[in-house]
Each structure stands twice: as C-alpha cells, then as structure tokens.
Amino acid sequence: MNIDELADMVRNLLAEYVVNVEIGKDLVHVEVKEENIIEAAKRMKEAGFDHVKDVTAIDYPKEGVIKIFYHLSSYSKKDLSRYIVGLGYSIPRDKNSVPSLYGVWTSADFQEREVYEGFGIVFEGHPDLRPLLLAPTVAELKPLRKDFIVKEEPIFKK
C-alpha cells in the first residue's frame, strides 16, 4: 500500500465526514467535522488503526480556530503500521469543551491530559482529567496558546 492508496482508503472510509485531506511523506492528515469525530474515530478503529500515537492541538489566532489532531497508527495491520494518519477537527478558539476519544482509544488518556493542561481544552467524558506535567496554577495560564505572553527580560539585570 502506498501513500495515495492510503489516502483513498481513508477518504472512502470517512466518506461524508471528510472536510479536507492533506498528503505528506508517510503521513495523511484528515480533517473532519467536529460533531462527527466520535463516529469517524470508531470507523478508523474498525479499519485497523488501533492506537493513538499523539494528541496535539494547534492554535491559529488569526483564523480564530484551534485544530485538535489525533495521530493514529496500527500495530495489528502490517501495511498500515508504516504510516501515520492524522485525524483532526477544528473548533473556535473560545470554545473549550470537546468530546474525549478515550472511549475509542485508551491510549489517548495521557495525551488528552497534556492538551488540557497546555490549551485549557476540556475533554468531556475523560475519566481522569487533571494536569499531567504542569502544576494546576501554571495550567490555568494555558501556556501553549499563542496569546500567552512569555516574559521577556534580559538575563543580566541592570
């Protein structure tokens, strides 16, 4: 299976949910509508994508959206295990509640907690949603959002 066949497979699989498909090197990014994410995730799991490698969020302050991406791959199917498929959706920046995919992939557990502490996005249905690496007082600042202002000061004070 090459990368174009994989893209076609994913396109056929998610059919009516697909908003946009991007093809990179060994990587296919599929964007779906936010309301369809759980159904799309279930279809992907049935097709053999059995684990989440990474959950990440990307902040686009000019467009006013945050894109949440689940990077999926497979251990059970050999031809799929070569590739990574990014399944994602975008939400408005002021919305901070999205459905959790813990019910579909258990391996999304810690990574959704990291997105929660960095961006302040609450994953509804996550069993244990609390900051993973950061202290709660730091997590409240939502430090990975673009509008978090990093303190600029010279190392050597005058």
Partner 1 sequence: MSKGNGDGKVYVGNVDVAAKKARKLLLGKLKLGKLVDWGTAFSLWPVHLTTSCCGCEFAAAWSPRYDNEQHGALPWVGSRQTNMILIEGTVTRKMACALRVVWEQMPQPKFAIAMGACALDGGIFYNSYNIVRPWEVVPVDIYIPGCPPRPEAVARAIIELQRKIRREGLASKFVEEGWRPDKEYVKPKEDLCAWWKG
Kindly indicate which of the ranges 31-39, 50-58, 79-87, 133-141 contains the residues binding partner 1, using the contact rule CB under 8 A.
Answer: 133-141
Q: How far is CA 92 from the centre of its chain?
A: 15
Q: 31 or 117: whose CB is closer to partner 1? A: 117
Kindly indicate which of the ranges 20-28, 40-48, 68-76, 134-142 contains the residues binding partner 1, using the contact rule CB under 8 A.
Answer: 134-142
Q: What is the DSSP letter of 126?
A: -
By CB under 8 A, is residue 132 in contact with partner 1?
no
CB of 62 to partner 1, least distance (A): 23
d(CA 111, CA 123): 11
Q: Which amino acid is at 135?
A: A
Judged by CB under 8 A, how many residues of this single chain contact partner 1? 15
d(CA 93, CA 96): 7
Q: 94 or 153: whose CB is closer to partner 1? A: 153
44: Cβ contacts below 8 Å, ≥ 6 apart = 10, 13, 14, 72, 85, 87
d(CA 30, CA 47): 15
Kindly indicate which of the ranges 9-17, 55-63, 79-87, 149-157 contains the residues binding partner 1, using the contact rule CB under 8 A.
Answer: 149-157
Residues that bind partner 1 (CB under 8 A): 131, 133-138, 141, 143, 148, 150-153, 155
